[in-house]
Chain A
Amino acid sequence: MTTALLERPITPTAQPQPAIELEAKAATKQLVIINWSGDLDKVWPVLILSSTAAASGLAVKVFITYWGLLPFVKEDRRIVGHNWMQKMLAFMQRPGISHVKLTKMNFFGMGPWMMGKLAKQNNVASPRELLDAALALGVEFVPCQMTMDMFGLTRDDMIEGLGEPAGAATAIEMMTNAQSSLFI
């Protein structure tokens, strides 16, 4: 410590945080994933990594935005949105975790069907099972308010157990506070 520092007057506002609080913060590592895609081959790794990270004791937050919102819409919602454009979008990409498509080799649903079949043969957990596990392990899914509005999605369209909708500034704060952040 330099003498200059020692000579500085100690103001009450400069009080350090209690040691216990600091320790607790340092003990829990954080992982943040931005789930931008609604595609099966992207949502799957997001769910695998988030549930495993939570299982490994990390505090995990997943910011769900853009197409990435659609897998988190309730399964029974076929058409969502208020105007014809939003409804048309939902018609072209059916919302819900069981209706996600592949980024490549989709072949009008043949690809995901075969992928599901192969996963079952190899006893790979389905996105549905992984989502349930992630929620049970305390993964916090934060929906993006702006894209929810754009797609005409209401809080009631979304599955139970999601966090409060938030915006870009929240996502930035989440990412900069975390030890690791991924955009998938």
Chain B
Amino acid sequence: MTVLLTADELVDARGLSCPMPIVKTATLVRTLASGKVIEVLATDPGSVKDFEAWSRSTGNELIESTQEESVYRFLIRKI
């Protein structure tokens, strides 16, 4: 059975270059309670590797990393 995850917050970082998708996401994540889910949209191809690294550094869970055409979508759960 698949449970559809709905994000609590959205970070639209489309069009932004490194390091702003991470900086914007981290700034928002700080204000949220543990367990909240954040959806991030980005167009910077480097953000795929960067969100993996950021998730390892901070411990926040990268639930999903997908791509639709030129838009990268990340689902993150705050620890």
Task: Give A contacts to B, CB under 8 Å.
Answer: 48, 51-52, 54-58, 122-125, 129-130, 133, 136-137
Main secondary structure of the interface of B (DSSP, over half): helix
Residue of A nearest to B30 (CB): A137
CB-CB nearest in chain A for B20: A125
Contacts of A52 in B (CB 8 A): 19, 22-23
A48 in contact with B26 (CB, 8 Å): no
| Distance of A137 Cα from B25 Cα, bound (Å) | 11
Is B17 an interface residue, CB under 8 A from the partner?
Answer: yes
State the Cβ distance, B12 to closest chain A Cβ, in Å: 13
Q: Give, as a whole number of angstroms, the nearest-CB distance from B31 to chain A.
A: 11
Check if B32 is an interface residue, CB within 8 A of chain A: no
Q: How far is the CB of B13 from chain A (nearest CB, A)?
A: 10
CB < 8 Å: which of B15, B20, B27, B59 contacts A137?
B27
Residues of chain A within 8 A of B25, CB atoms compared: 55
**18 A-B Cβ contacts within 8 A?**
A51-B19, A52-B19, A55-B19, A55-B22, A55-B27, A56-B22, A56-B54, A56-B58, A57-B57, A57-B58, A58-B57, A123-B17, A124-B17, A125-B19, A125-B20, A125-B23, A133-B20, A136-B27
Q: Which of A52, A122, A125, A129 has the most CB of B within 10 A?
A: A52
Residue contact A137 to B23, C-beta cutoff 8 Å = yes
Q: Apart from A56-B54, A58-B57, what 15 extra A-B contacts exist at CB < 8 Å?
A: A48-B19, A55-B22, A55-B23, A55-B26, A56-B58, A123-B15, A123-B16, A124-B17, A124-B18, A125-B16, A125-B17, A125-B23, A133-B27, A136-B27, A137-B26
Chain A positions within 8 Å of B16 at CB level: 123, 125
Closest to B19 in A: A52
Residues of B contacting A124 in the complex (Cβ-Cβ under 8 angstroms): 17-18
Distance A98 CA – B53 CA, assembled complex (angstroms): 31
Closest Cβ neighbor of A55 among chain B residues: B26
Q: How far is the CB of A89 from chain B (nearest CB, A)?
A: 32
CA distance A51 to B50 in the complex (A): 14
A129 CA to B20 CA, complexed, in Å = 10
One of A55, A122, A133 near B17 (C-beta < 8 A): A122
Distance in Å: Cβ of B35 to nearest Cβ of chain A:
17
Expressed in whole angstroms, the minimum distance between the Cβ of B71 and any Cβ of chain A is 14
Contacts of A55 in B (CB 8 A): 19, 22-23, 25-27, 54
Closest to A27 in B: B59
Give the residues in chain B near A48, CB-CB below 8 Å. Answer: 18-19
